[in-house]
Amino acid sequence: MTRMLLRFAALLAATASVCALAEYPDRPITIIVPFAAGGPTDTLARLLGQRMSKTLGQTIVIENVAGAGGIIANNKVMRSPPDGYTVAIGHVGTHVLAPAVQGLDVDYVNDFEPVALVASNPQVIVANPNVPVKSLKDIIAYVKANPGAVSYGTGGPGTPSHVMAVDFGTRVGAPLNIVHYKGSAPALQDVIAGHVNLTFDQAATALAQARAGRVKAFAVTAPTRLTMAPDIPTVDEAGLPGFYMSIWHALWVPKGTPKEAIAKLNAAAREALADPVIRKQLVDLGQEIPSPDQQTPEALRAHQKAETAKWWPIIKAAGIKS
């Protein structure tokens, strides 16, 4: 009799668990943003969160947890209950580069459950108009003729723009004179002012300055041209094949989150990315929207794994630290 009661209790518990999951979500969901309010990642989170909330039928709250290149926010998400109510948004810097440049013993490919790749923002190679170059090939020749003298502004030690600068120097066979700033915005401003020669900046911010004539844009660090700037050649076309770097954004949840909850979050993200209004807003921000086959959790894990395998050896070999 006791054994039968125990089995009945277990059956009731399993049934209750299934019913609870079927009702997901039944309360607000929080998206943790690893940067301050107002930046590109925060803007993207708010656009997606507002649209995803309609699909999920629950409010999505945006919480900004800045610091340590995204590590603080990532730790908070990893320590949260794996129930689908805490979601991380991050990018190549927070979920690929940061652990390597900070020397952390973590495995972000497997320490999170992937939800969806949501946007990609390639870098644009830009220079001050007074730099005596007219093309990317000219920039390469100029750097080779002046090794270590051509100044380059980064968004800070260990940031994507810093890692790219090191990779660029290795590829062309001559180093850049790397100057670190507290963010990509002041780096770009000093390129505009002529204090440094060039930088690689996100299309979302660089293109506005290029269109205003404040900087010259030479190439997009992607295999295809940008939708919003089809006149700018790719690095393949401009003379530096394979020099790709994109500030891609994605969503993750804590490891162990039920697959059913992940599926609902993924469906909501995909629906948001298919919305014409959201698509236009993202394109206006310089974001490229991944194809539907790249929006699955499996595709995100594979992409993150490939990016880790690509950038970690470069970071380690160069001894890049934040």
- pLDDT, one tens digit per residue, over 38-70 is 888 999 999 999 999 999 999 999 999 999 999
pLDDT of residue 11: 46
Where do we find the tokens 């404040």? 214
Strand order in the sheet with 177-180: 177-180, 151-154, 198-202, 123-127, 216-220
Return the number of other C-beta atoms located less than 10 Å from residue 314's C-beta: 16
pLDDT of residue 127: 98
Model pTM?
A: 0.88
Pick 22 or 20 by higher pLDDT: 22
Please count the helices (runs of H) and the strands (runs of E) in the chain: 14, 10
User: Stretch 193-216: mean pLDDT, rounded?
Assistant: 94
Residues whose CB falls within 8 Å of the CB of residue 285, separated by 6 or more in sequence, listed in order: 40, 43, 44, 121, 204
Backbone φ and ψ for 34, nearest 5 degrees, come out as -80, 15
Task: Give the up-direction half-sphere exposure of residue 54: CA atoms within 13 A in the CB hemisphere.
Answer: 11
User: Stretch 262-287: mean pLDDT, rounded?
Assistant: 95
Where do we find the tokens 């660090």? 221
CA 135, 166, 179, 70 torsion-angle sign: positive
What is the pLDDT confidence band of residue 22, given thresholds at 50, 70 and 90?
low
Q: What is the pLDDT of residues 218-227, one digit of tens each?
A: 999 999 999 8
Lowest-confidence region among 75-79, 135-139, 177-181, 224-228:
224-228
pLDDT for residue 12 is more than 50:
no
Which residue, among 238, 241, 245, has the nearest Cα to 120 in the 3D structure? 245
Lowest-confidence region among 16-25, 48-57, 77-86, 252-261:
16-25
* Residue 295 CA from chain centroid, whole number: 14
pLDDT of residue 228: 86
What is the pLDDT confidence band of residue 183, given thresholds at 50, 70 and 90?
confident
pLDDT for residue 18 is more than 50:
no
